[in-house]
Structure 1
Amino acid sequence: MSGFVHIVDDDKAVRESIGDLLRSIGYQVTLHGSASEFLGAELPDAPACLLVDVRLPGTSGLELQEYLTRANIRVPMILMTGFGDVPMSVKGMKAGAIDFLTKPIRDQDLIDAVGAAVRLDQERRRESSKNDQLRERFALLTAREREVMALVASGLMNKHIANELSISEATVKMHRGSVMRKMGCKSVAMLARMAGALEIQTWSSRAAR
């Protein structure tokens, strides 16, 4: 199993025990005794999850969660909680944590939760990489090609696009072909999905305003 697990717990015995278990099945593990210690560490750019005790000295687990959200650090978080802290963990779930585990934590529950969290981060990274590539391709389009892309993605026919932009239908076809080639796109449906991922304002959304 590949991926990093960042464990934040002020109980040294607990974090080392969890770390040993996760290392035994192939995870790379970092151990931190407090939120500030974690925030001061350099995180590798790799699929990961964060395993955080709700009650920490100084900055609590929920406060750490709020900070990471504000900083747009999107590492999936699993909260660890004592029995009396379940309401706090539910609050954390509502704020974006993907799971919470009640101590003492069963090994299999921990392994399952961490596996799901790391897979989630892997998928997020794949989607982010795809969107980065889309933005790079979109940057190659001329201003006119971007207009044509938005209108094609809206489902307009060439003649309607020509009327909308006050250009000839032949010119629309030329720009449309260039857009499809530069974006690496084979169908209007695919182009529409790309436009959605890029949050391009389409003709229909403009007309509705």
Structure 2
Amino acid sequence: MSLSNEQKGTTLEEMSKIIQQLNNRINTKRTQLAPIIRELRQLRQRAQELSQIHAEKKSAYDALTASQESQSIRLEQEVRTIREAEKNEESKFHYLTANLELLHIQQNRLQDEIRGYVTNSSHVALSSNKNESTNETMEKRKSYREIYTRKIAEQEALTKTLKQQQKSLLENEKFGLKQVNLWKNLIQLLEIKKITKEFNEEREKAGGDYANVTKMEKDRMLL
């Protein structure tokens, strides 16, 4: 009976020693890990800050990109509108040019008729009645000539105005296309800047904070 008690006592003492050793080792490891844990907390906080900064920058970039796309779409619509207006004005210009040519033909024909009447009037000067009739006819022809001349002048003025409008439309179209190209180039530059920024951030993380974390993981494995 006493031998059994002695064995139990010995076993309890050994267990107490083992437990004490384990506690000592745990405390030692805890002390060793404390700086690493603190550093990990700082890194975690830094990672959260960087994530927040990245989210803010991305939000600003997305807003800017959306604005640029909207501006580009608006400019493209303006260019299409200008082109349609140019086509309409060009069609009107060709129509008026054809009318002007027709009026020139009519004017030449009228002038030929007037010259014919003037020539004939020199051969009918013997009769006063015939002279009066010829004068009336000449007055009518003269009034017709004035009407046609006025119409031709109006058409020429309108044609000149249309030419100026066509020139203005062409200049506006070139400017609109230039603006569209500038916006597209700006969007491409922003995309490249974004990609470069993300690449630099990943590289810094891989060579900076991530390197410290990797080193600490190795230290923990050694412990």
Fold match, TM over 0.5?
Answer: no
More helix by share: 2
Greater per-residue strand proportion: 1
* TM-score with structure 1 setting the length: 0.26
Point out which structure has higher relative CO (alpha carbons under 8 A, 6+ apart). Answer: 2
TM-score, normalised to structure 2's length?
0.25
